[in-house]
Structure 1
Amino acid sequence: MKKLLAEKKLIVSVVLVLALIVLVVVLHGRKPSTAVARGRGMQTVPVQIVTVRLGDLSSVNTLTGMISANLETAVGAKVAARVQTVYADMGQAVHSGEVLAQLDPSDLEKQLAQTRAQVQVDQAQLQSAQDGTVNSLAQAKAALDQARAGYEQARADYQRYETLYNSGAATKQQLEQSRLKMDDGLSQLQAAEKAYNLAQSGDSVAVARAMLDKDQAAVAIIQQQLSELTITSPVDGVVASKNIETGEMVSPQTALFNIAQLDPLQVTVNVSDQVIAGIHPGTEAQISVPELGSKTFAGKVLRVSPVLDQASHAYPVKIQIANPGRNMRPGMTASVVFTGLNTRPGIVVPVQAVVETPQGSEVFTVDNGVAHMHMVQLGAVSSDKAVVLSGLKPGEQLVINGQNLLSDGTKVTVVQSADQAGTKGIIGRLKQGAGK
């Protein structure tokens, strides 16, 4: 809004310089050097005024917002593995279920083959236990020794990778893989200890069955991990970012792709409390995007926040926009105009009347030839109008030209009311006075 006001002030300042020069020449015998900014050093400051009236707030409903993706989803790996092939690139349109990348399955396939072989051993051992021909305690002890040795080796490997990682000689992915192997070894050791304790109790069949269940569960886990090596898009959309290259290691904590849904899009605007009552889900809006020229797009309100935003003193409203041609993109600025609003009257003033200061927005009124400053709170602002939420009352005489030269208490001369004539009429009148 400050940019809009600055543009208005530039136009007003040009008009005022011309008006002041002519007026001072008329009033002071062609001695224009007596006027200084904000009305100091002058007997009076010429101003133009307009009477404050209630207006139709629906005419000030052009709001600005930022276009964003309707949905943006991060896609990552569920298994630590090396990237085998990347199929998708940034900016590429993808469909739900489409393959984005393939991770190398060789390590998991080896683990699967080993675990399946162990399952066959477990099945034989269970059969032997059931036949009473297997010394369950000895087998459980051997399995326990094997599991303990495997865990100690995995723990030593993890400690070695941890030392290498801290010195910069190993990657985080390598450290993560060694930790997962250590955790898996610990699980196997705990299962073997449980099986050994059961064997000591004399229940060899239960021990064999427990070993078989454990390894069958491991087969299922590895098969699930193998299916997760194929990375697919969960939604229709466009690849907004790609953080993956062939040959590198990836871990479950890494986001490999971001998929943005570009049709539909959405834009969020802040709506003042004078207008919000007429807006609800389904309210239609016309959206224009400066980067796309004069073309307008149809939109509908998706959600209306029930809570006032304290920073903007307005209600956030989310609008959905169809984007079949994908001409609009996230990050573009959009102007939104709500259609068919029925709003109660409120104070609407020319935007050029507002002076922005470090303390806030201020305007000036005139009473008996004296300017009075008012701090005001603004609502919606369009290119030429602003809604005043507080600080002004209907019937007051508002300064719309010359306000940049005023201070509270400055004496003014009302050259002409804007209720009767425009700015061109003021200059013409001043020139006529100068020519007499």
Structure 2
Amino acid sequence: MKSAIFRIFFICGLVIACNPPLETIQPTKKNISESVFASGLIKAKNQYRAYANSNGILLSILVEEGQLVKEGQILLEVSNESAKFSRESAELARNFNDRKENELKIKELEVSIEFAKNKFENDSLLLIRQKNLWSKGIGTANELEQRQLNFQNSKTQFLSAQLRYQDYKRELEFNERNASKNLAISKSLEGDLMLKSKIDGKVYALLVEKGEMVNPQTPLAIIGSDEDFILEMQIDEYDVVKIQSNQRVLIKMDSYRGEVFEAKITKINPIMDEQTKSFTAEAEFVKGPKVLYPNMNFEANILIQTKENALTIPRAYLFKDQYVIDSNKDTIQVEVGLKDYQLVEIKSGISEQTILIKPSL
């Protein structure tokens, strides 16, 4: 008899072990928010890579990583002998064509004009006098013709001297302007050998070492704001239409575990990356952590909409996105509203009194 009772209890134990109690819940009213997940990197505001402006050898590095710099401050210097010689040649040409350096030539032409003018005026008077004598029957036709010829020659020389003077002045002015422009270009090219900061900020990284060959495709440094940072995140193309400026963003960072920071959307780039099939969006902290560095990782939940006192159930109790199972094991169709990572809003189909069974996988 005892053996039979033991077998009965043993069988019942197996039945209970094989059929664990069903997990059940009742819907509850809670606040729920729909959000879009995104991940990204922290960047310094106005962060940029500084590139060499010309070919050459990195002659000197005038700053250190972590150093604060001002806009226009020289960061690095590139050596380029060709640019230096070009500037020196342009300076020589500019000096050669400088008006002050050509004053002697100008004075010489002015003297020539004055001499030609005096000769022209003298020959003019002699011609008038000869004509007066000829009118009185004094002199010969040959003398009159000679006076006319002298007058024409001196007139031509006077006009020619004036033209030479004007042409030389035009040529001098042109050469002077051209030489000045060439010198300005040469100085600009030589100035390009000095890499200057575009902003007031911080040197976050120096990417080259002294003595290296560089060219315009060579990034030399990373510069950015030392106080203001932006959150650059990637948004899936299926979610980007839900994103708008000024939406709240909840930020979690590995460097600040257990803390949640609030930010807001400030910019959505209007072009999709064809490789990642995502859009880039930017946000700024409403109140951020005290210490931040570029390229720190973060995870973001962009809040699309929020509803208070909504009827909710855990997402694990919903299957096929529209059905639940009650305590009678009946399948009930429900109308679903907002969803987050744990809860789902139920707009109709069940009430707070409905007991639900967790669907088996």
- Mapped to 2, the partners of 1:255 and 1:313 lie a distance apart of 26
1:95 to 45, 69, 74: 69
Q: How does 1:234-245 map to 2 (within 5 A)?
A: 234-245=198-209
Name the counterpart of 1:108.
83
1:128 Cα deviation (Å)?
3.4
Secondary structure (helix, strand or coil) at the match of 1:369 reads coil
Indicate whether 1:320 and 2:285 are aligned. yes
2:329 to 369, 377, 397: 369
Indicate whether 1:263 and 2:227 are aligned. yes
Deviation string, structure 1 residues 120-165 (Cα, Å, up to 9, x no partner): 32235697378549xxxxxxxxxxxxxxxxxxxxxxxxxxxxxxxx
Name the counterpart of 1:385.
343
Unaligned runs of 5+ in 2: 1-10, 111-162
| Percentage of pairs with the same residue | 11
Could you tell me which amino acid in structure 1 is paired with residue 76 of structure 2? Answer: A
Cα root mean square deviation, aligned = 5.2
Unaligned runs of 5+ in 1: 1-24, 36-44, 134-198, 356-360, 405-436
Could you tell me which amino acid in structure 2 is paired with residue 113 of structure 1? Answer: E
Pair 1:323–1:232, CA change in 2 (3 A):
farther
1:115 Cα deviation (Å)?
1.5
1:399 Cα deviation (Å)?
5.4
Contact 2:322–2:333 (CA<8 Å) still a contact in 1?
Answer: yes
Indicate whether 1:401 and 2:358 are aligned. yes
Contact 2:249–2:300 (CA<8 Å) still a contact in 1?
Answer: no
Secondary structure (helix, strand or coil) at the match of 1:247 reads coil
- Mapped to 2, the partners of 1:216 and 1:303 lie a distance apart of 47
Q: How does 1:200-349 map to 2 (within 5 A)?
A: 203-261=167-225, 263-267=227-231, 268=233, 281=246, 287-295=251-259, 297=261, 299-303=262-266, 318-320=283-285, 325-327=290-292, 329-334=294-299, 343=307, 348-349=312-313
Contact 1:353–1:363 (CA<8 Å) still a contact in 2?
Answer: no
Pair 1:240–1:380, CA change in 2 (3 A):
farther
Contact 1:265–1:321 (CA<8 Å) still a contact in 2?
Answer: no
Pair 1:312–1:122, CA change in 2 (3 A):
closer
Deviation string, structure 1 residues 257-305 (Cα, Å, up to 9, x no partner): 22243633333597999xx89x974x877644343234555x4425276
- Mapped to 2, the partners of 1:236 and 1:112 lie a distance apart of 30
Name the counterpart of 1:74.
49
- Mapped to 1, the partners of 2:70 and 2:315 lie a distance apart of 48
- Mapped to 1, the partners of 2:279 and 2:357 lie a distance apart of 26
Contact 1:67–1:331 (CA<8 Å) still a contact in 2?
Answer: yes
- Mapped to 2, the partners of 1:122 and 1:206 lie a distance apart of 12
Could you tell me which amino acid in structure 1 is paired with residue 317 of structure 2? Answer: A
Q: Which has the larger radius of gyration?
A: 2
Pair 1:212–1:206, CA change in 2 (3 A):
same
Pair 1:365–1:352, CA change in 2 (3 A):
closer
Secondary structure (helix, strand or coil) at the match of 1:349 reads strand
TM-score of the aligned structures, taking structure 2 as reference length: 0.56
Q: How many equivalent residue pairs?
A: 282
Q: How does 1:164-183 map to 2 (within 5 A)?
A: none
Contact 1:65–1:335 (CA<8 Å) still a contact in 2?
Answer: yes
